[in-house]
Amino acid sequence: MTVDRTPRLLVAILAALLVAGPFVPQWALFLITIALAKGLVVLGLMILLRCGLVSFGQALYYCIGAYAGGMLGRLFEVSGVFTLMLAGMVASAVTAYVLGFLLARYRGIFFGLLSLAISMILYGLLVKSEALGSSDGFNVLPSTLFGIRPEDEWVRYVVLAVAGVVAFVAALLVHRYLKTPLGGLAPAIKDNEIRVEYMGASARHAIHVNYVIAAALAGLGGALGATTVGHIDPEMAYWTTSGEFIFITILAGTGSVIAPFLGAMIFGIIQTVAFDISPNTWQMVLGSALLVVIVFLPSGLWSLFRRRKAT
């Protein structure tokens, strides 16, 4: 029996992040934190992709998470970072639970298109709602950790540490979940749904559960992203945001729970570097990267590690 290395690897990555954090420049801290936030969304998309489902509307839950956190601050002046993330997660999960009854019946392109339509509905609503700042969005209150606001030069590091711990816990839980019978059903659903049902399992139920988990993770990521950036706007629900998440999911692959975070990090690096070098061609670089990965690494960047291990 092979040893499960993932938990150990996760601990090592978290430790490295926490130790190296204080020595890393501020802009890099910001980059890593955003990558962790996006990685959480992608972790959810990875769970769905394992069932063969590609959601072109995951920005819906990212946006709901961000707005839920942001509105708690705006209306009730709540600023505890964990409270905000919990709010984002719950708001997204509840929405997904309701929508899941509908969406769990869809497969393939129709699942993607319906989730796209729903996320665009939210976009349309937010753009026209003046109370929430219309298309400009609004600024999020500076968040606090257990009631304390860290000193300015430590803010980024503290947010990163929080994000790291949250991502660590989420990744570990998802890793465990994928090993449960329900979590293990996903590849079977992807391969042949009817056989899954002959075995006595309900594909629709499994997809519904996975859908809610994915949404909860996206909500968590959204609240975290909002806290990090300090501003939220309806663009977060636009289809290009969903496209970005799908992009990272494909880039990363479904091989491991670490892959989404790695993918988000690489995406962030490509984006930043390409944008720095030539601001007018960064999308071209991203598009080409996506094309290359789809053609040459259909199972994502993570398959690079796996192949090396096998030989």
Partner 1 sequence: MQEAVAVVIDGIIYSAWLFIAAVGLTLIYGVMKIVNVTHGSFYALGAYAAASITGALLAHGMPPMLSYAVLLGSAVLVAIVVGPLIERGILRFMYVKDEVVILLITYALFLILEDVIKLIWGVSPYFIAEPYGLLGSFDVADLTYPVYNLILVGVAIVCGVGLAWTLTKTRTGKLLVAVIHDTEVSRAMGINVDRFYVVTFTFGSMLAAIGGAFTAPTVSVVPGLGVEVIVLSFAVVVIGGLGSLPGAALGAVIVGLVRSATIHYLPQAELFVIYLVMALVLAFRPRGLFMLAEARKI
How far apart are alpha carbons 88 and 222 in whole angstroms? 7
Question: Cβ of residue 56: shortest distance to partner 1, in angstroms?
Answer: 8
Asked if residue 123 binds partner 1 (CB under 8 A), the reply is yes
Binding mask 60-89 toward partner 1 (x if CB under 8 A, else -) reads ------------------------------
- Minimum CB separation of residue 133 from partner 1 in Å reads 14
Only segment of 115-123, 149-157, 200-208, 301-309 that touches partner 1 (CB under 8 A): 115-123
CA distances from 233 to 63, 134, 236, 239, 304 (A): 8, 8, 6, 14, 37
Residue type, 17: L
d(CA 39, CA 152): 26
Residue 293 C-beta: closest distance to partner 1, Å: 9
Q: State how far the Cα of 207 lies from the Cα of 51, in Å rounded to an integer.
A: 7
Specify the residue, 3 or 194, whose C-beta has the smaller distance to partner 1.
Answer: 194
Looking at the Cβ atoms of 180 and 240, the one nearer to partner 1 is 240
Q: How far is the CB of 120 from partner 1 (least distance, A)?
A: 4
| Binding segment (CB under 8 A) for partner 1, from list 159-167, 216-224, 246-254, 258-266 | 246-254
Distance in Å, CB of 218 to partner 1, minimum: 19
Determine if 98 is a binding residue for partner 1 (CB under 8 A).
no
22 Cα distance to chain centroid: 25
Beta carbons within 8 Å of 16's beta carbon, 6+ residues apart: none
Count of residues in contact with partner 1, rule CB under 8 A: 42
If one asks whether residue 20 binds partner 1 (CB under 8 A), the answer comes out as: no
- Is position 127 an interface residue for partner 1 (rule: CB under 8 A)? yes
Q: What does the alpha-carbon distance between residue 156 and residue 149 come to, in Å, rounded to a whole number?
A: 11
Neighbours of 52 (CB within 10 A): 16
**C-beta of residue 170 within 8 angstroms of C-beta of residue 40:** yes
**By the rule CB under 8 A, 40 interacts with partner 1:** no
Q: Sketch the per residue contact string, 131 through 170, with partner 1: x for CB under 8 A, - otherwise.
A: ----------------------------------------
The long-range contacts involving 262-265, CB below 8 angstroms and separated by at least 24 positions, are: 262/301, 262/302, 263/39, 263/42, 263/300, 263/301, 264/34, 264/35, 264/36, 264/38, 264/39, 264/42, 265/32, 265/35, 265/39
Instruction: Provide Rg for the chain, Cα atoms.
Output: 19
Binding-site member from 4, 294, 306, 307 for partner 1 (CB under 8 A): 294
Report DSSP state, residue 56. Answer: T
239 binding partner 1? (CB under 8 A): yes
Q: Which of residues 266-285 bind partner 1 (CB under 8 A)?
A: 280-284
Residue numbers of the site for partner 1 (CB under 8 A)? 54, 102, 106, 108-110, 112-114, 116-118, 120-121, 123-125, 127-129, 192-194, 239-240, 243, 246-247, 250, 280-284, 286-288, 290-291, 294-295, 298
